[in-house]
Amino acid sequence: MGVKLGRCNLETGRISLGTVKFGRNTDVKYPTKFELPTDKVIVDLLSEAQALGVNLLDTAPAYGNSEQRIGQLLPGLRQDWILCTKTGEQYAGGESSYDFSSQAVTDSVAQSLKHLKTDYLDIVLIHSNGDDLDILHQTDAFATLERLKEKGDIRYIGMSTKSVAGSIAALEVSDVLMLTLNLEDQSNINVLKAAEKKDTGILLKKVFASGHQTAEESLAFALGQRGVHSAVVGTIDSGHLKENVYFADSI
């Protein structure tokens, strides 16, 4: 069951697939350790996702070699997928580093195009370090993304935010926002109302943050909010993905 991603000319499933676990298993906030999946596991998962109507893949340069693996293993036609990546954060040698300068953003997008083996990126989001307002007002990050959008490298731009003030400010310049929303952290609820007025695409992250509720309760809350288009679920377990799509479709 597809849904239009706000004013973007994109239709996504109610569940999107987060791909941190495709490429990185160090310094990640998951309750249990995990091995990086084999190529076969990724291909099978992506094929299953496609069959379930999950077409948006959320990745980032900071997710280890997630972009490269998607580029190598993506089944089907490129236009069947919505590739959403990020810029501003790199992860190497066990450390994250942030650079929101025009040169860094330009280089990062060029690298993502190469890694993902594509000539356009559907969505590129600023990968915030927590200083949302500083990135928006003191750097060239958004102006650079706008230029790359005009050039045709990117279709839609936005930000993965870490603060309510940042989310509100980013609405002014974003086609798509990625926000935290779950039963324990409902701070972005008012952002959704503002986003709905602007018809901004809304992707949710950290939907299951608490772990105290069931997946069904968490998804019912998150996807039950007006203005929310898709919840990004990070998994390498096809049973988990299927279950979440089933819950989402029943909301």
Give me the CATH number covering residue 151: 3.20.20.100
Q: Which of 64-73, 164-173, 188-197, 211-220 has the lowest mean pLDDT?
A: 211-220
Q: What percent of the chain has pLDDT over 70?
A: 99
Mean pLDDT to the nearest integer, 43-62: 98
CB distance 113 to 134 below 8 Å: no
At 29 the pLDDT is 82
- The DSSP annotation for 138-198 comes to HSSHHHHHHHHHHHTSEEEEEEE-SSHHHHHHHTTT-SEEEEE--SS--TTHHHHHHHHHH
At 251 the pLDDT is 87
At 129 the pLDDT is 97
Q: Taking 70 as the threshold, does the pLDDT of residue 10 lie above it?
A: yes
Mean pLDDT to the nearest integer, 26-37: 88
Q: Which of 160-164, 188-192, 213-217, 242-246 has the lowest mean pLDDT?
A: 213-217
The domain of 34 spans 2-250
At 32 the pLDDT is 83
Q: Tell me, yes or no, if 63 is annotated catalytic.
A: yes
DSSP SS3 for 74: coil
Domains of the chain: total? 1
Q: Name residues whose C-beta falls within 8 Å of residue 233's C-beta, 6 or more positions apart in sequence.
A: 15, 16, 17, 18, 207, 208, 240, 241, 244
At 31 the pLDDT is 80
Which of 30, 63, 98, 120 is flagged as catalytic?
A: 63
| Confidence class for position 12, pLDDT limits 50, 70, 90 | very high
Can you give the pTM of this predicted structure? 0.97
Nearest alpha carbon to residue 194 among 223, 227, 225, 166 = 227
Q: Taking 90 as the threshold, does the pLDDT of residue 184 lie above it?
A: yes
